[in-house]
A and B are shown apart, each in its own frame.
Chain A
Amino acid sequence: MLNRILDNTRIFFEGAYYSYRALFRWLNPATYLASKVFAPLTMMIFFVYIGAYASGSNSASYYVIGNSLIFAASSGIFGVTMSVGGERWTGTLPYLFGSPANRGAMFVGRAVMHILDGMLGVFIGLGWGMLLFGLDLSRSDPLALIVTILITTFSTSGLGLLMGCLSLITRNVMLVNNTVYFALLVFSGANIPVEQLPGWMQVIANGLPLTRGVACTRMIVAGSSLTEIMPLLREEMLIGIILTILGYSLFKVFEFQAKKLGTLDIF
């Protein structure tokens, strides 16, 4: 029994580490800087300026906060989906499925690295916000901020896990990925207040991860405490858990289907 646990833990960490390395080759510092630090910043700047054009210049903070959390979504969705989809890409999926390793340990392990990476991305985004757009975090409760970011990154990873499953049955992973990512831009309240969306879109927005995280972060920056945002955070966490469970179950179903239909090797 203990051996089982130790084994699974080892698989968990190994899987996370190796897949991260294999798929992302981040060990090149220039690439890391370009993709993780600079590129998301450029997207943030884009939306901040549209916002400025729309409503005058003092709304920068609004867009900065929202778009910083989008960075979390980036790791959560692309990172996790690529972990699975990427295996298909490099042709290693069949080998992975042939192995007896515990699926849960394997894939949740991958998600952990991306959660950590995502959190880092958000902090970088907020940092840029402070540096370039005068974001004022003086009234923010640091603990509340960290917890919110952690939970939000976790819930978007859950979405990523779900998206990753789709990669088992379709070749067009990147299409789905990008669509969902951009859709989050629309629904999360990062750039458009949720209240301004049409009714049916608000329903979708509230069912997705990230929405409450963005709202919470705005509240924290405005000075709210952890207890005040707790209800929203709980809901965000719940979404994350549901998505993860859904993703994992779907994963097992699709694995079975893929083996049955023989689509594992198709690239």
Chain B
Amino acid sequence: MERIRKNLRIMLLAFEIEMRQNLTDGFVVFGILIQPLIVAFMALWMLKGKGPDYAIFVVVGSGMTGLWTTLLFNGGNSITGERWNGTLEPLVASPASLRIVVFGKVLANVAQSLGSMIGSYLLISLILGYPLTLERPVLFVISLFFTVAALVSFGLILASFFILIPDFARMVNTLEFPIYILCGFLFPIALLPGWTTPISYLLSPYWAAQALHGAAQGSLTTVQIMGDWALMLAFSLAYILASGRLYRVILRKARADATLDIMGN
């Protein structure tokens, strides 16, 4: 129990530190704020004819693109960022588990990105004067919690891939838009060729988008939304469990290959 409390404290400190470091980083601001807003703007124009509640669809969908992009580029670099800073070695050498630190950092990134979703909501409703009502607000908020859990736990896995797979950072651009596409952020996946559907089902952001869009537009029943929650929960647990083994592997590899520090050799 004591240990759990102490680990929680570590996670919160990591969260706080990451928050503070990000607020001064320009590129982070871009991913969190500007890109989703531009995507939102474009989608608003392109989807104008879709009916009265399409505006909230755009806000939620573009918010999700922001969440994913932030997770990919900022959350994913949780470990590699420490390495660049020279603090990965002290972190690894401490008794605390690296997973807890990464969890805190990714949580900070996702939380900030969530803030941008709220920001674009306000921007679009206040400045452009669109009506933005959430049909099922309570379900929406709960869905957000599950979304955060699913994304952050995936972030754990993602951060380790940056270490495990050489040159992963260079390939990471290719993962940005495919998730937007396959997870139905700004258009239903029914438009895509049928063979991609199973792939969509394997992606936790798909279920998150389902739940969030469904709650915002009232297009899904409560049972259906709760089904999405169950799936997101399952994914979260699976990721967290898998990360245990994964982190043991990457840390051993990094210590064997002398890659804990960029000047390792």
Question: Which residues from chain A sit less than 8 Å from chain B, CB to CB?
Answer: 28, 30-31, 34-35, 38-39, 42-43, 45-47, 49-55, 57, 171-172, 174-175, 178-179, 182-183, 185-186, 191-192, 196-197
| Set B34, B174, B181: member contacting A49, Cβ < 8 A | B181
The complex places the Cα of A174 from the Cα of B49 at a distance, in Å, of 34
The complex places the Cα of A54 from the Cα of B45 at a distance, in Å, of 10
Contact residues of B between 158 and 198, Cβ < 8 Å to A:
167, 170-171, 173-174, 176-178, 180-181, 186-188, 191-192
CB closest residue in chain B, given A55: B49
Q: Which residues of A contact B191 (CB under 8 A)?
A: 49, 52-53, 57
Q: Mask for B47-87, Cβ within 8 A of A = 1, else 0?
A: 11110000000000000000000000000000000000000
The complex places the Cα of A185 from the Cα of B26 at a distance, in Å, of 21
A-B complex: 4 closest residue pairs judged by Cβ atoms: A172-B26, A42-B177, A53-B187, A175-B26
8 contacts between A and B (CB under 8 A): A30-B167, A42-B181, A50-B43, A50-B187, A53-B186, A185-B42, A186-B41, A192-B45
Q: Which residues of B contact A182 (CB under 8 A)?
A: 34-35, 38-39
Q: Is B145 an interface residue (CB 8 A)?
A: no
Q: Is B46 an interface residue (CB 8 A)?
A: yes
Q: Which residues of B contact A171 (CB under 8 A)?
A: 26
Q: Mask for B19-37, Cβ within 8 A of A = 1, else 0?
A: 0000000110110001100
Q: Is there contact, CB below 8 Å, between B167 and A28?
A: yes
16 other A-B residue contacts (CB within 8 Å) besides A51-B46, A53-B50, A183-B38: A31-B167, A34-B173, A39-B173, A39-B177, A42-B181, A49-B181, A50-B47, A53-B47, A174-B30, A175-B27, A175-B30, A178-B30, A179-B30, A185-B38, A186-B41, A191-B45
Q: Is there contact, CB below 8 Å, between B38 and A186?
A: yes
CB closest residue in chain B, given A176: B26
| Set A42, A50, A53, A197: member contacting B176, Cβ < 8 A | A42
Q: Which residues of A contact B45 (CB under 8 A)?
A: 191-192, 196-197
Q: Which residues of A contact B173 (CB under 8 A)?
A: 34-35, 39
The complex places the Cα of A47 from the Cα of B124 at a distance, in Å, of 21
